[in-house]
Amino acid sequence: MVTIYFLDENEGHYLYRRVRKLISNRSISNRSTPVKVYYTEDHALNIDMNPRDPVSEMVKPTILNFFAKHIIRTREIGWILRILEHQYYFENEDEQQQILSIVQALMDGKHEDLPKIRGLPNREDVIVDALESFFDCEMMFSYESFLQFRLKPYRELLQEYIECGIDEFKLEQEYQDFIHQLRQFIKARVSLFNMVHLIHDRDEFRLFNQHYYELTEEDITGLLKEYQQSFHDIIVSNLLKLLIVIAPSKICLYTDDPDSSMNQTIQNIFQEKVLILPHQSFQVQHKKS
């Protein structure tokens, strides 16, 4: 039998009711489940399972996964925010919330391509592993003590996600600073062309002026030559350098992939000046001209 003591009576009662409901929802032939659950006056949740009974073994993973999800739902955000404030000294609430959102996205598997988090274990599994040893034998323990002292692997996992989240947050800040600098530079320039047509095909871009004349390598080299030093430190892409030199009032971007990183950057820099059009529509527009 496992006995879990709670400081928070409401939380103890809540978990008692939910565990009972979980057990009653299990489809177990025509016999009653051997798992007994009850709540005592001293705020203890008792879960009595026979480890040699196959039905008990069938029910146990459901109970453990429920506890893991409950811990994540009720404690994880608070722990992440405390780590950000006390270990990494992020005291600004807005910054904390931005990093928290990034960390949650990382843990939900939205950026699995990042090397730092690739292959990290599922956090529910880590909590279940910590709980399982308590359920494998008769054990009495405090819920709060378990959270504080027995979840070191889970906290270490959170730490890895947080560190990666902070790195992503700083990269995003640097990117926004970069975009701001370029917007300011464009504001100070006079447009060389009122409109340009930018054709995106896979990883290649072709640039045409408002009269559908395609800029050659010689044209591009000439335009960039005068401003080369201005962009030396902050821009790698020759395409961005060229667009900023031209500073067009309007960019017609013909693409079937508007969410590519370069297309997103162009839209972020030029904002409402960018008109997104299907790739094939350039030929139609060209013929009309």
Q: What's the mean per-residue pLDDT of the chain? A: 90
Per the model's pLDDT, the better-predicted residue between 79 and 118 turns out to be 79
Mean pLDDT over 56-67 rounds to 89
Residue 129 corresponds to which amino acid? D
Dihedral Cα 242, 183, 234, 197, nearest 10 deg: -20
Tell whether the model's pLDDT for residue 114 goes beyond 90.
Answer: no
**Size of the chain in residues:** 289
Residues forming beta bridges with residue 116, ordered by sequence position: none
Per the model's pLDDT, the better-predicted residue between 165 and 29 turns out to be 165
Residues 134 and 274 in one domain: no
Of 182, 204, 221, the one marking the end of a domain is: 182
What are 234's two structure tokens?
């902050």
pLDDT reported for residue 29: 42
Most confident of 48-52, 164-168, 218-222: 164-168
pLDDT reported for residue 230: 60
Residues 8 and 103 in one domain: yes
What are 42's two structure tokens?
């001293």
- The model's pTM: 0.83
Task: Give the phi and the psi of residue 46 in degrees, each rounded to 5.
Answer: -105, 125
pLDDT reported for residue 162: 97
Tell whether the model's pLDDT for residue 176 goes beyond 60.
Answer: yes
Range of the domain at 255: 189-288
CA nearest to 202, candidates 257, 261, 267: 257
Three-state DSSP string of 177-228 = HHHHHHHHHHHCCCCCCCEEEEEEECCEEEEEECCCCECCHHHHHHHHHCCH
The three-point CA angle 9-11-13 to 5° equals 70
Of 117, 151, 182, the one marking the end of a domain is: 182
Residues 38 and 134 in one domain: yes
Q: Is 103 within 8 Å of 161 (Cβ atoms)?
A: yes
Tell whether the model's pLDDT for residue 215 goes beyond 80.
Answer: yes
pLDDT digits (tens, 9 = 90+) for 122-163: 999 999 999 998 887 778 999 999 999 999 999 999 999 999
- CB atoms < 10 A from the CB of 260, how many? 14
Segment among 106-120, 123-137, 210-224, 257-271 with least mean pLDDT = 106-120
Q: Are strands 139-142 and 2-5 parallel, antiparallel or unpaired?
A: parallel
Per the model's pLDDT, the better-predicted residue between 121 and 51 turns out to be 121
Helix axes 238-246, 152-187, angle to 10 degrees: 40
Residues 204 and 142 in one domain: no
Residue 169 region, left (φ>0) first, then alpha (ψ -120 to 50), else beta? Answer: alpha
Of 182, 201, 223, the one marking the end of a domain is: 182
